[in-house]
Amino acid sequence: MEAITGQELIRAVALLGAGIAMGLGAIGPGIGEGFVAGKACEALGKRPDQSQLITRTMIIGQAISETTGIYSLIVALILIFVV
Within residues 22-41, the interface with a second copy by CB under 8 A covers 22-41
Q: Round to whole Å and give the CA distance between 46 and 29.
A: 26
Rounded least distance, CB 57 to a second copy, Å: 6
Within residues 45-64, the interface with a second copy by CB under 8 A covers 45-51, 53-55, 57-64
Q: Round to whole Å and give the CA distance between 78 and 83.
A: 6
Q: Other CB atoms closer than 10 Å to residue 21's CB: what's the count?
A: 19
Rounded least distance, CB 56 to a second copy, Å: 8
Count of residues binding a second copy (CB under 8 A)? 80
Q: Round to whole Å and give the CA distance between 48 and 82.
A: 48
Rounded least distance, CB 63 to a second copy, Å: 8
Q: Round to whole Å and give the CA distance between 2 and 38.
A: 54
